[in-house]
Amino acid sequence: MRGFLKPVFYTALMLLSSCYNVGSVRLDQDQNDYSRALIESSKRQTLLNVVRLRYGDTPGFLDTTQLISGYQLQRSVSVGVGTDTGYVRPYGGVGAQLQESPTFTFQPVTGDAYAQSFLRPLPPGSLLPLAMGGLPIDVLFRLAVQSVNMISNAGAIGGNVGRGSPEFFELIHDLRLLQVAGLLGIQLEHSQEIPGKTPSFDRVFLTISSTSDPLLAETVFETRHFFNMQQNDERVEVVYGAGKPAPGQIRLLTRTMLGVLGQIAYQIEVPKTDITSGQTLPRVSLVGRETKPVVTIRVDEEQPKAPFVSIRYEKRYYWIAKDDFDSKLAFTMLQILLELSKTTKNPGAIVTIPISK
């Protein structure tokens, strides 16, 4: 019997000792898995709200505020002796059970949090520095800027009403050329010193550097001329608002996040039957250099294979193709803008969903 108990003992010892590093082993895998799941969930929620706006449906936002991944480990060891049929027979067993119980906490975005996050225009001081982080300034302006001085971007209104000004798309094309060439910059300054406090950056300047390249020099000249800059000046202040700017300023009317989502929504090409039946309006018809939607969202009754992101709404599938880099980049920038617009205010109601496996 000793020969039997000895391997049982060592097996139990190895099993029980190995269970102490379960947490460290699961940490890396859980972190990657849950991070990927949260990102995919956020992408689907954004796309669903865009499609809802396309059909005049009410958008809804639910933030994941807490995620707890708990593990319960149950271990057992049994050793005994039986006397069945008159023979003494040892028996034993070793068992372990690992149970995962994740808990997700959601907060609906309502009230003041909704107003601050989705109904407040994006401040230029938070928006423009994104271009210095490597994001294309032309895509950034198409998404988040409604007008520059007296020219307008396409709006969130169906048909030809919201198609915008051709000059707007020419301007952002030139700004992108200057950005790629390293001639475009953003400067943040604070207007006054506050004793004992770190002042916030409340002044934003756009800089356009000179160049000896003849082709780029022409773009520099035209861009400075559009902004009413003296040709020997290299920077101009950016202020929020619409209309005619004061000397030395650019008036930038930024959008709310609801306006950004709506502008993408009304560029979706939906079936004509949905328009003729009154379910939605015609798509925005762009003019000038840009005639392609900033985010191309496809529609079909068949489920797409391996899309970048897809959702199902009213018996149809809406998705962004994985091989459409421009749309993927613009949609990723949309996600960044959504994160930028979020507020720390408590929206109130909390929904907690425990899951047992």
**Is 237 among the domain residues?**
yes
Distance CA 78, CA 290 (A): 74
Task: Say if residue 21 is in the same domain as residue 66.
Answer: yes
**Is 211 among the domain residues?**
yes
Residue ending a domain, among 238, 255, 272, is: 255
Task: Say if residue 156 is in the same domain as residue 235.
Answer: yes
**Is 354 among the domain residues?**
no
Question: In the prediction, which pLDDT does 300 show?
Answer: 94
Q: Helix, strand, or coil here: 61? A: coil
Task: Say if residue 146 is in the same domain as residue 55.
Answer: no
* CA–CA distances in Å: residue 206 to residues 197, 209, 229, 337: 26, 10, 11, 20
Distance CA 311, CA 40 (A): 11
Task: Say if residue 86 is in the same domain as residue 126.
Answer: no
Distance CA 28, CA 36 (A): 12
Residue ending a domain, among 236, 255, 274, is: 255
Assess contact for 144 and 255: CB atoms under 8 A: yes
Assess contact for 155 and 197: CB atoms under 8 A: no
Task: Say if residue 63 is in the same domain as residue 99.
Answer: yes
Residue ending a domain, among 60, 82, 109, is: 109
Residue 64's nearest CA partner among 44, 90, 47 is 44
Q: Helix, strand, or coil here: 21? A: helix
Distance CA 294, CA 331 (A): 9
**Is 172 among the domain residues?**
yes
Count up the domains in the chain and report the number. Answer: 2
* CA–CA distances in Å: residue 283 to residues 44, 158, 160, 270: 22, 5, 8, 8
Pure H helices in 82-180: 111-118, 124-127, 129-132, 137-144, 166-180
Distance CA 244, CA 225 (A): 15
For the chain, helix, strand, coil in percent to 5 are 40, 25, 35
Question: In the prediction, which pLDDT does 106 show?
Answer: 74
**Is 222 among the domain residues?**
yes
Whole-structure pTM value: 0.78
Task: Say if residue 125 is in the same domain as residue 70.
Answer: no
pLDDT tens by residue, the chain, 357 residues = 555 455 555 555 555 555 455 556 666 666 777 778 888 989 999 999 999 999 999 898 887 777 676 666 566 666 566 665 656 666 666 666 656 667 777 777 878 887 888 889 998 988 998 998 889 999 999 999 999 998 988 876 765 666 778 899 999 999 999 999 999 999 988 776 666 666 666 789 999 999 999 989 999 999 999 999 987 889 999 999 988 898 889 999 999 999 999 999 999 999 999 999 999 998 887 777 777 899 999 999 999 999 999 999 999 999 999 999 999 999 999 999 998 887 655 545 455 555 555
Task: Say if residue 97 is in the same domain as residue 127.
Answer: no
Distance CA 244, CA 220 (A): 21
Task: Say if residue 127 is in the same domain as residue 251.
Answer: yes
Give the residues across from 62 on adjacent strands. Answer: 108
DSSP 217-282: HHHHHHHHHHTT--TT--EEEEEE-SSPPPTTEEEEEEPPHHHHHHHHHTT----HHHHHTTSSPP
Q: Which residues contact 62 (CB under 8 A, 6 or more apart)?
A: 45, 106, 107, 108, 109, 351
Q: Which residue has the tokens 């949609």?
A: 331
Task: Say if residue 155 is in the same domain as residue 126.
Answer: yes
Question: In the prediction, which pLDDT does 201 show?
Answer: 65
Q: What angle do CA 208, 209, 213 make, to 5 degrees?
A: 120
**Is 247 among the domain residues?**
yes
Q: Helix, strand, or coil here: 25? A: helix
Task: Say if residue 93 is in the same domain as residue 136.
Answer: no
Question: How many other C-beta atoms lie within 10 A of the C-beta of residue 288?
Answer: 15
DSSP 69-94: EEEEEEEEEEEEEE-GGG--EEEEEE
Task: Say if residue 159 is in the same domain as residue 54.
Answer: no
Structure token pair of residue 314? 């009213």
Domain limits for position 13: 2-109
**Is 300 among the domain residues?**
no
Assess contact for 235 and 207: CB atoms under 8 A: yes
Q: How far is CA 49 from the centre of its chain?
A: 13
**Is 73 among the domain residues?**
yes
Question: In the prediction, which pLDDT does 232 show?
Answer: 83
Task: Say if residue 160 is in the same domain as residue 79.
Answer: no
